[in-house]
């Protein structure tokens, strides 16, 4: 039986993108992880008020609106700017009856070789206002298949949501999106609860070790695994 686990078949073509629509994103020196070599990172160094590095990031203006969002994505430093202390602020603003925010994607793409493992992660702090003041807020940090750069076809390209939260809730959800535009499908994790007032590291561990049935994607919060999808589990879900 061939490998029908989309996470594995798409990983060599994965695109690392980030879209945060709450006030603060953090990136200090990435921690050293035994057994892994750092491939790419951004410490968001630079003068306060400047944009993220154009050699690493692309501001999507406007980003494709697939969720009936009411905000407009801009490249204005008012919506996304360096803090001057190794953090990136991404701030939604309301003015003249309109919302603006920012959505940025990496210029590079990465893939996990067969027999290897790869980690994609970011340190992020959410807004800590009362949830009644965050209705409609939908921050996310996710990957897209490389094919999306060329044909903009979703969800055929595949998508893995690493961090996704809604309406100020203190819960994170990891999700796989797949299928076709006319028949989109998704598999999601249970809610993973956290403290919104603190920094947290959101990540996925992609393992292409072993046969397709044992290969997997594992979602982690602060290094603790809370959801895993394997090729064998995926085949059961797909057939069922």
Backbone phi, then psi, for 133, in 5-degree steps?
-100, 5
What's the whole-model pTM score? 0.86
Domains, the chain, with CATH or none: 6-239 (2.60.120.200)
Mapped onto helix, strand or coil, the DSSP state of residue 11 is: helix
Q: What is the pLDDT of residues 83-116, one digit of tens each?
A: 998 889 888 898 998 888 888 999 999 989 999 9
What is the C-alpha to C-alpha distance for residues 8 and 176, in angstroms, rounded to an integer? Answer: 11
pLDDT at 238 (0 to 100) = 63
Q: What band does 67 get if pLDDT is binned at 50, 70 and 90?
A: confident
Compute the mean pLDDT over every residue in the chain, rounded to the nearest whole number: 83
ω into residue 62 within 30 of 0, thus cis?
yes
**Cβ atoms within 10 Å, residue 153:** 12
């Amino acid at each position: 039986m061939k490998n029908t686990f989309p996470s594995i078949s798409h990983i060599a073509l994965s695109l690392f993108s980030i879209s945060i629509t709450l006030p603060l994103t953090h990136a200090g020196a990435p921690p050293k992880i035994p057994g892994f070599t750092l491939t790419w990172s951004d410490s968001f160094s630079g003068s306060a008020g400047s944009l993220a590095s154009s050699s690493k990031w692309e501001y999507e203006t406007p980003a494709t609106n697939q969720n009936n969002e009411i905000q407009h994505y801009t490249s204005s430093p008012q919506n996304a700017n360096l803090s001057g202390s190794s953090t990136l602020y991404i701030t939604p603003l309301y003015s003249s009856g309109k919302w603006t925010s920012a959505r940025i994607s990496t210029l590079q793409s990465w893939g996990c070789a067969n027999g290897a493992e790869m980690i994609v992660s970011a340190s992020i702090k959410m807004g800590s206002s009362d949830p009644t003041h965050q209705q409609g807020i939908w921050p996310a940090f996710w990957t897209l298949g490389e094919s999306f750069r060329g044909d903009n076809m979703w969800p055929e390209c595949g998508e893995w949501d690493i961090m996704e939260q809604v309406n100020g809730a203190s819960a994170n959800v990891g999700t796989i999106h797949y299928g076709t535009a006319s028949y989109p499908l998704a598999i999601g994790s249970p809610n993973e609860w956290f403290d919104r007032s603190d920094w947290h590291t959101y990540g996925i561990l992609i393992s292409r070790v072993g046969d397709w049935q044992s290969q997997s994607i594992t979602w982690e919060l602060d290094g603790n695994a809370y959801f895993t999808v394997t090729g064998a589990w995926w085949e059961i879900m797909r057939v069922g």
